[in-house]
Structure 1
Amino acid sequence: MEANLLNQSLRLPNGGVLRNRLAKAAMSEALATYGNRPTEALVELYRRWGSSGLGLIITGNVMIDRRALGEPGNVVIEDESDLPVLTRWAQAATAQGAALWAQLNHPGKQSPKGLNAVNLAPSAVPFRQDMAAFFETPREATTAEIQDIIERFGRAAAICKKAGFSGVQIHAAHGYLINQFLSPHHNRRDDAWGGTPEKRRRFVLDVYAEIRRQVGASFPVGIKLNSADFQRGGFTEEESLDTIRALADAGIDLIEVSGGTYEAPAMSGIMQETRKASTAAREAYFLGFAEKARGATQVPLMVTGGFRTAAGMNAALHSGALDVVGLARLLAIDPDAPASLLQGRDSAQHVRPISSGLKAIDRMGLMEIVWYTRQLRRIGKGKAPRPDESGLAAFLKSVIASGWGTFRTKRLRARA
C-alpha cells in the first residue's frame, strides 16, 4: 500500500487542524430524554468513539427547537440549561484528541406524524402517497418563523461553542428543512425565499451567516449538503455546485457531500445497489460528484457512504477529490474500526443491507436508521453492538419504542 493518507492532518480554512483524515459522520442516536435533554449515554458513546483515533467526530441531529423534532429522543439546544451535560459530552471526545462537531438541524416536514403539533416547511407540499400515512402535510412557514429559525441556529451554535464543542455542522441534506428550502420540489414560494435558485439559497446562506456572527471567525463551521435529491423536480447537481461556490465564498470550513431524502434514500445505500461495477469498485457513493465539486472549490471536502476498505479510502484521498473520509454505519457495529484503518488494516465487520422483510418499510430506507440506532443505544449503555441482530426484530422493537417516545414527548410538552 502507498502511504496511508488517513494519518495526515488537515488544516481548515479558519486555521483549525484535524489530526487525521478519518471522520465519524452523523448518525441518529435518539439518546436524549423524552424532554430532549442530553444524557450520560451520549457521553459514554462519544467517549468510546473518541478513544478510537478518529480525527473528526460529528454528532447526530441536534435540534434547535423543541417544537420541531425529527424523532423522539432528539437532543434540543435552545438555551444553556443543559450546559453541564453538554460540556461532559464535548469533553468525552475532545479530551482524547478528536474534534467534536455538533450537527445542527431542523426537520421541517420530515418528522413522524403526531410528534410535533405542526410541521413547518418552505411550502405545504405533502409526501408521496405511500408515505402520507407516516408524515403530515406541513404548513408553509411565515417570514417571521423563518427569521426565528435562523436565529435559533445561531444561538444553538454559540451554546455548543461555550460547552467546548470543536465546531458545528449545518445539516442541509437528506430532505430536512434547509434541503427543503434548496429544492424546487419542496420550495414553491414566490417571495424572497423562493422562486429562483438564488432565492432558494438565501435560507442556508442566512443560517450560515447567523452562526458565524454568533461564534466568530475562528470557530469551525461545516455543512452537510446533498449532491442531488434524486427525485423529480428536486435539488440538482448543478444547483448543488452553485451552492458550494456560494458557501465557499461565504467562508465555510468543510463541506460533506451526501445525497437523497426519505423519499429517495440514496444516502442509505438502497439506491446504490444498481451502480456500475466500475463505480462500485471505487466504493464511495458520491465520489463522482466530489470530483465535480473539487473543480468548483478548494474548500476541504468530506465524502460519506460506501467506503469499505483502507485501500479504497486511500485511493479516494490520493485522487484529490476529497480531503476527509466519512464513516457512519461501520462505527455502529465496530466502534474501534478507526484504530485498524489508521494502521492500514480493514475492520473485521462489514456493513450489510438491513431488511425487515416488509417491502413498504424497506423501500423507505427506514431500517438503515432504526437498526443502527439500536446499536448506538447498546454502545451508550456500555455494551457491545450486535452486528447479527434481526432486522425485523429491531424494527418491531423500534416501532414500540417510537410510539411510546412520541406519547411521552407529547405529554411532557403538554405539561410545559
Structure 2
Amino acid sequence: MKNQYFPKLFRHGKIGNVEIKNRIVRNSMGTYLGNPDGSVSEDQIKAYAQAAKGGAGLIFMDNVTPVAMTSCGLRADDDRFIPGLSRLADAVKLNGAVAGMQIAHPGRDAGFVGSEDVVAASPVTYEPWYQHGAKLPRALTIDEIHSLVEKFGDAALRCKKAGFQIGRL
C-alpha cells in the first residue's frame, strides 16, 4: 500500500554519514527503567530492543546526564557506565535501528529527579510549582559552567565509545 500522506516516511535517509532505514524517529523520553544508580538495566535493554523491532529507524535513549545524579535517566559521567551503554546501543542496532543519545542536564528541575544540588543558569523560575515549596535553583558560577561544558564533552565521548551513532547535546 502506497502511503499518500507521508510518501517519504519509509524511505531510507542519512544524517551525516549515518544511514537510517526510514525517517521514523523515537524521541528520548523518561522511561525510568534504568537502575537507581543511573546504570542501564535489563528491562531498559529489552524495552529499547522492542522499540527497534517496532520499526523506527532512529531511537534516542532516555536523557543521559553528564553529572552524577540518580533517578535522572541514564548516566555517562564515568567510564564504568560504558559497558551498560554499549549493551543498550548494541540491542538497538541488532534490531535494525540506529542508536541515538541525548545528553541533558535537568537544571532547575533537578530537585524533581532526586538531586540535592539544584542548579540552573539563574535562580529565577517561572514554573508555578516552585511557589509551593519546591527548592529554588541556585545560579551556576562561571567555573561551574566551564566544568559542565567539559563534562558534556566527556559524556559525549563515552556515548560514542559505547556505540551510539547519533548524538544531541
Per the TM superposition, whether the score is higher than 0.5 is yes
- Root mean square deviation of aligned Cα: 2.0
Query: Which residue in the other structure is 1:126 paired with?
Result: 125
Q: For residues 363-382 of structure 1, what are the structure 2 equivalents within 5 Å? A: none
Q: For residues 5-404 of structure 1, what are the structure 2 equivalents within 5 Å? A: 5-12=8-15, 14-67=16-69, 72=71, 74-112=73-111, 115-133=114-132, 135-170=134-169
- The 2-side partners of 1:77 and 1:35 are apart by 11
Contact kept in structure 2, 1:127 and 1:137, CA below 8 Å? no
Higher relative contact order (CA 8 A, sep 6+): 2
- The 1-side partners of 2:154 and 2:88 are apart by 18
Contact kept in structure 2, 1:23 and 1:54, CA below 8 Å? yes
Contact kept in structure 1, 2:12 and 2:21, CA below 8 Å? yes
- The 2-side partners of 1:113 and 1:50 are apart by 29
Contact kept in structure 1, 2:33 and 2:44, CA below 8 Å? yes
Closer, same or farther: CA 129–88 of 1 in aligned 2, 3 Å: closer
Letter in 2 for 1:89: L
Closer, same or farther: CA 27–120 of 1 in aligned 2, 3 Å: same
Tell me by how many angstroms 1:130 deviates: 4.2
Contact kept in structure 1, 2:100 and 2:166, CA below 8 Å? yes
Tell me by how many angstroms 1:4 deviates: 3.3
TM-score (norm 2): 0.88
Letter in 1 for 2:163: G
Structure with the higher fraction of residues in helix conformation = 1
Contact kept in structure 2, 1:90 and 1:164, CA below 8 Å? yes
Tell me by how many angstroms 1:23 deviates: 0.8
TM-score (norm 1): 0.38
Contact kept in structure 1, 2:63 and 2:72, CA below 8 Å? no
Query: Which residue in the other structure is 1:406 paired with?
Result: none
Contact kept in structure 2, 1:19 and 1:98, CA below 8 Å? yes
State the identity as a percent: 27
Letter in 1 for 2:13: L
- The 1-side partners of 2:155 and 2:68 are apart by 12
Closer, same or farther: CA 134–22 of 1 in aligned 2, 3 Å: farther
Tell me by how many angstroms 1:93 deviates: 0.7
Contact kept in structure 2, 1:33 and 1:73, CA below 8 Å? no
- The 2-side partners of 1:103 and 1:151 are apart by 16
- The 2-side partners of 1:50 and 1:63 are apart by 23
- The 1-side partners of 2:72 and 2:127 are apart by 26
Query: Which residue in the other structure is 1:369 paired with?
Result: none
Contact kept in structure 1, 2:21 and 2:97, CA below 8 Å? yes
- The 2-side partners of 1:58 and 1:113 are apart by 22
Q: Give the gaps of 5 or more residues in structure 2.
A: none
> Considering only CA atoms, is the larger Rg found in Structure 1 or Structure 2?
1
Contact kept in structure 1, 2:65 and 2:105, CA below 8 Å? yes
Q: Deviations over 1:200-225 (max 9, x none)?
A: xxxxxxxxxxxxxxxxxxxxxxxxxx
Closer, same or farther: CA 22–161 of 1 in aligned 2, 3 Å: same
- The 2-side partners of 1:117 and 1:81 are apart by 23
